[in-house]
Structure formats: C-alpha cells, structure tokens
Amino acid sequence: MATGNTEISHDFPSFFKVYKDGRVERYWNTDFVEAGVDTETGVQSKDVVISPEANVKARIFLPKIDGPDKKLPLLVHYHGGGFCLGSPFASAFKTFLSTLATQANVIAVSIDYRLAPEHKLPTAYDDSLAGLRWIAEHSDGKGPEPWINEHADLGRVILAGESAGGTLAHYVAVQAGAAGLAGVAIKRLLIVHPYFGAKEPDKFYRYMCPTSSGTDDDPRLNPAVDPDLLKLKCDAVLVCVAEKDGLKGRGLAYYGAMKKSGWGGTVDLHETKGEDHCFHFFNPKSENIGPLMKKMVDFIQLN
C-alpha cells in the first residue's frame, strides 16, 4: 500500500523511478488512440483480448482487402520501450503499423504484453509467446477473431519488433521453433534497433528481471549462447541498425551471431547513417524514414 513516501529506491532515467513505498513513476506516459479507421490509409483497427486472466490484449490492423477470398500475410508486432514503456494503442504505433500494413499489404497484430517493473520479466517474453499461440488457434479458420479467420494466411507469418520489441520477436521465433508450435509458419523475422543488453552487467535489465545476471550468459540478452538458436524457424532475418545508436554494437553482434550460427536461413543487415535509436518514431520528419520503410516493406512482402 502506498504511503506517500517520496524517497526513491531505484532510478532509471528516461524510463522509470521506484519509490520506497513501491510506487512506480514513468518519465513519460504513453498516449492512447481509439481503434477505428485510419484517415490517412483507410486501415481499420480493432482491439481484442488474448488472455482474459492476465488482461493481455492486442490491436489488429486490417488494410483494404482486394476481393473477398484474398488472404494476406500476417505480421506479428512487438513494440519497443525497454520492456517498461509503450503500447500498441499509442498514436505513434497506430501511424507506423497502419502505414506498414498498407505498403506491405499485410494484416498486423501488435501484442500488448504486460510491462515491467510492475510485471517482472520474463512476463513480457511469456505474454509475447502467448500472443503467437493465440494466433495459431486460428489455423483451422475457427479461432476467436473473425478478422484473422477470414483474412490472414497463417502459412505466411512475419515476426517484427523494434528495440525491446525486436528482442521479444527473436525470442518468440526461437521458442516457437523449439516447441514445434503448429498452426503458423514463420517466414520472416524483422529485428529493428534491437535491445540485447551489454557485456557488462545491465542494472536496468537486472532490476526488471531479478532471475537474470544481466550479462552475456543470459541467452535472452545474448542469442549466441542460446542452445535453442538453431531451432529458429523462418526463412530470412533482417537486422536494422542506426549509425548513432548506442545499441548498434549489440545489433551488429546479433547479426554476426545469426550469420555464424548455421541455422539455415538468410541474414541481411541494413544500417541507417546519421540517425539514432528508433529515429523513425522520435524524428518523424527525417528523410531517412522513407528508405528504412522501403527496406522493411520489401523484406516482409511475401508472394
């Protein structure tokens, strides 16, 4: 129970601070935009509940369908925010996913995993995998969500995410392969400016995930040491990095690990010069957004 104590026990600038009475205060709060029709693209969106018990939700983005029987690839998106910020219901993600769904001609489902530190990691990882399992329930066309039943081709699935969401997308792809998850066929893995910790102990990550060392011996932070890495099931991986991003080195290390792993698919790298972490959200007027979006669209389009 909160006591009004103003003494801070943990402070992680740009993310959150925790008071000794247990209160969590974020440095910025995510806005909320209602689902509906996007006026710029015509994309329809709706919110669905994946797990009533855990209150895990998702937002689905449906582009204009060309013909009643046409089924589209399904992009499963995990948002960034250091595992502790962000939401599929925010204006920035509605704009981004509406644009991506239109340009790539895919249905997008963005998973609203529970956030740390109120929900300690690996909760976000578990919720993210649960989201894909929920999608797989639609493989016979009789799942709980009509839009997926009617319009999604679960034989053409793309997993995607930026920052911490890229970390989650990779984890889900590996776990789906390791578990032999039926009902979905992952074809592409799009990893944008991923968050994979650091070689030195990551105090921020360790606070959110008390069971982790916060170092390279944790396979969630260093896929190169994951014994299940070769079980990743997809045809291609695209790793996007930004020149001025402090996380660039870890993104390059991830790219190198995937190249050396021998898992069997193709791995490509795209670097944006002169930009910082997730600039396509933080610097919306950047002339570099167009080339990055084109690279993403070209990669995820499946014929």
Q: Which residues belong to the active site? A: 163, 245, 277
DSSP percent split of the chain into helix, strand, coil, nearest 5: 30, 25, 45
Q: Are 214 and 201 in contact (CB under 8 A)?
A: yes
Q: Which DSSP letter does residue 171 get? A: H
Q: Is 50 exposed, middle or buried (0-12, 13-18, 19+ CB in 10 A)?
A: buried
Intra-chain end-to-end CA distance of the chain, in Å: 55
Beta bridge partners of 161: 78, 191
Structure-token match 């992680």, residue found: 12
Residue 161 phi/psi, 5-degree rounding, is -175, 155
Q: Tokens representing 77?
A: 């998106």
Which amino acid is present at 117?
P
- For residue 34, CA distances in Å to 23, 37, 49, 90, 165 come to 28, 9, 15, 9, 22
Q: Which DSSP letter does residue 225 get? A: G
Q: Tokens representing 247?
A: 């996380």
Nearest residue to 79 (alpha-carbon basis) of 39, 30, 38, 16: 30
